[in-house]
Homo-oligomer: A and B are copies of this chain.
Amino acid sequence: MQEHEAQFRNYLKNRGLKLTRSRALILNAAFTMHEHFDAEKLHDLVKHANISLATVYRTLPLLVNAGLIQLAVHSGRRDRFEHILGHPQHVHWLCENCKAVMETDLSSLLPALENEAKALKFDISQISLSIKGLCWKCKADVNESQ
């Protein structure tokens, strides 16, 4: 069994919830994807098994609370997620023009943040750093058109 399955099974058992066929399929679909995804995208991957969109929506918060996925970027009106296991924390660079998302390592900033957390007596569970602006490609385009 994969690590994420074991973690989910454990999370569910701890609170008297059941590991159903639907939930297992949705979990695996989430770990199939290596980019950001929203509820509908996830549903696309499992609807062949007659799983409803409502069930996807009901499973998403379970996966979040189990520490398996997290809210990634909120662009537009849909929530977008990404899986966590095997995907270390990173910075999201969002181009406001072409909507591209780049990622860079967050580790160099971690010590400073952990220091501050200690000073605040704050228990960190998730760090989300996203930076909006213009990517190099769009910056070039803007300059051209001037």
Q: Which residues of A contact B (CB under 8 A)?
A: 74, 91, 93, 95-96, 102, 104, 108-109, 112-113, 116-117, 120-136, 139
Contacts and interface: CB of A to CB of B under 8 A. Distances in A.
Nearest to A123: B134
Contacts of A125: 96, 132-134
A91 B7 CA distance: 31
A136 B109 contact: no
A96 B133 CA distance: 28
Contacts of A116: 91, 104
20 contacts: A74-B74, A91-B116, A93-B122, A104-B120, A109-B112, A117-B131, A121-B135, A122-B131, A122-B136, A122-B139, A123-B139, A124-B132, A125-B132, A126-B131, A126-B132, A127-B129, A127-B132, A128-B128, A128-B130, A129-B129
Contact of A112 (B95, B108, B122): B108
